[in-house]
Amino acid sequence: MIEKIIASHSEDEVKPGAVVWMNLDIRSARDFGGANVVKHLQREYPEAPVGDIEKTAFTFDCNAPAVTIPYANNQHICRTFAREQGVPLFDVDSGIGTHVLLENGYVSPGMTAVGTDSHFNIFGAIGAFGQGMGDVDIAFGFKFGKTWFEVPSSMKVIIKGFYDYPTTSKDLALYILGKLGARRALGRSVEFYGEQIEKLDLAQRLTLCSLATEMSAVCALIPPSHEILEFCKTRAKNPGNVRKIEADPDAQYCETLEIDVSGLPPMMAAPPNPQNVKPVSELAGRKVDSVFMGSCTNGRYEDFSLAAEFLAGRKIAPHVMAKAVPATRTVFGQMLENRIVQQFHEAGVIVSHAGCAGCASGQIGMTGKGEVQVSTSNRNFPGKQGSGDTYIASPLSAMAAAIAGKITSPENII
């Protein structure tokens, strides 16, 4: 899949290991790194810094609205530049950039997208290529609409069997992460197949592909289903160009791996890294101080709806501070319309505006020294979400911990 996507955006010979010039369908910068992109452009290309405005955007999600002076300054630099150049800008009320670009039809299956976000490979959920890059590379992309890239080798992962509620796509993603670790998929494009994969909806595919970065993969790609294609067509600027990208039947892979998920229990990644994955039952009993629901990995409406159904009139444990942060303004609106915000409020959950929140060290979701948190985000390295210990889990496992006041498997709450 990756070779087909790159080949359709390059005039060079595309094969694993080759360095090619790749045309970009969308290039964006967020509030983290965005100001540096602007400074590079103004210094190097003062007369005409942006090559194609329609393929360019700024998104603010790391610290939104800004709660520090440096972020406020950086955002204003980007705003001023965007107004002067006519570049679209999704401000602090919009939400996580990758999700905002997806909702607004900037990225469709088979496209190429880059940005100053290490989880830009989340677009593999719709069969598109996304990649996070540094501010110098993004500035070059803003100006010239292309970037150099080394074509990765491809790894095929076939998921066998099925799992049942309360196991979710996050548990699937964590289990795969635990199997691959941080080395097996290093520098590779990973393609996911299997009947369980085909059943995943968009939110579930986003959850799986967002963890490609933690697998050290260049990207994770899933062939888009009919439902995914229809979703993209309703939002794309050119619906007729939305097409399904599939690998050839005789495509060559550097490795093919089968993973059986039959009867998979809820999983959790314990400190100090996302690869330290264990069944929740093996970690049960540790007292929890806080719970965070959100991030690009589990910030969709479906995630909060699932958590709300599980909550079902229960209360958060008195000593637990539970927080919910939707991925986008659209998701927040759905939560309001369907009374999920009210349900969370009545149960004792703090609901905030859309953004990355604590996952990006922005606002809600940070921990103090000695604090134990269960989070639906994608990283739990020391310091990533504060000074405390963070356990990565599904929305259901996070809710179970919030209700019980300690790590426990969702089955124990049902």
More confident residue, 383 or 274: 274
Q: Which helix (H) or strand (E) holds 38?
A: helix 31-44
pLDDT in tens, 374-407: 999 999 988 888 899 999 999 999 999 999 999 9
| Per-chain mean pLDDT for the chain | 96
Task: Count Cβ atoms within 10 A of the Cβ of residue 43 and give its class: 0-12 exposed, 13-18 middle, 19 or more buried.
Answer: exposed
The 3-state secondary structure of 156-185 reads EEEEECCCCCCCCHHHHHHHHHHHHCCCCC
Q: What is the pTM of this model?
A: 0.96
* Distance separating alpha carbons of residues 109 and 124, to the nearest angstrom: 8
414 falls in which pLDDT band (50, 70, 90)? Answer: confident
pLDDT in tens, 184-202: 999 999 999 999 999 999 9
Q: Which residue has the tokens 């595309």?
A: 14
CA 96 to chain centre: 9
Q: What local confidence, expressed as pLDDT, does residue 366 receive?
A: 85
Q: What is the percentage of the chain residues whose pLDDT exceeds 90?
A: 92
pLDDT at residue 241 tops 70: yes
pLDDT in tens, 153-165: 999 999 999 999 9
pLDDT at residue 358 tops 90: no
Class of the CATH domain delimited by 267-409:
alpha beta
pLDDT at residue 94 tops 90: yes
Q: What local confidence, expressed as pLDDT, does residue 361 receive?
A: 66
Q: What local confidence, expressed as pLDDT, does residue 230 receive?
A: 96
* C-beta separation of 213 from 119 below 8 A: yes
Q: What local confidence, expressed as pLDDT, does residue 344 receive?
A: 97
Domain boundaries along the sequence of the chain: 2-150, 154-260, 267-409
How many beta carbons lie within 10 A of that of residue 357, not counting itself? 32
Q: Before 65, cis peptide (omega within 30)?
A: yes
Q: What local confidence, expressed as pLDDT, does residue 16 receive?
A: 98
* Distance separating alpha carbons of residues 9 and 182, to the nearest angstrom: 29
Q: What is the percentage of the chain residues whose pLDDT exceeds 70?
A: 99
pLDDT in tens, 220-234: 999 999 999 999 999
pLDDT in tens, 302-330: 999 999 999 998 999 999 999 999 999 99
* Distance separating alpha carbons of residues 413 and 241, to the nearest angstrom: 47
Q: Which residue has the tokens 């590779």?
A: 188
Q: What local confidence, expressed as pLDDT, does residue 364 receive?
A: 84
Q: Would you say how long the chain is, in residues?
A: 414
pLDDT in tens, 42-80: 999 999 999 999 999 999 999 889 988 999 999 999 999
pLDDT at residue 363 tops 90: no
Q: Tokens standing for 145?
A: 């609409």
pLDDT at residue 4 tops 70: yes
Q: What local confidence, expressed as pLDDT, does residue 245 receive?
A: 93
362 falls in which pLDDT band (50, 70, 90)? Answer: low
Q: What local confidence, expressed as pLDDT, does residue 365 receive?
A: 77
Buried b / exposed e along 86-117 (16+ C-beta atoms within 10 A): ebbbbebebbbbbbbbbbbbbbbbbbbbbbbb
More confident residue, 374 or 367: 374
Q: What local confidence, expressed as pLDDT, does residue 412 receive?
A: 95
Fold equal for 2-150 and 267-409: yes
Pick the CATH number of 154-260 from 1.10.540.10, 3.40.50.620, 3.40.1060.10, 3.10.180.10: 3.40.1060.10
* C-beta separation of 103 from 59 below 8 A: no
Give the DSSP letter of residue 387. S
What's the Rg (C-alpha) of the chain? 21
* Distance separating alpha carbons of residues 67 and 80, to the nearest angstrom: 19
Pick the CATH number of 2-150 from 3.40.30.10, 3.30.499.10, 3.40.50.720, 3.90.228.20: 3.30.499.10
Q: What local confidence, expressed as pLDDT, does residue 360 receive?
A: 74
Handedness of CA 100, 267, 390, 118 (dihedral sign): negative
Q: Which helix (H) or strand (E) holds 11?
A: none
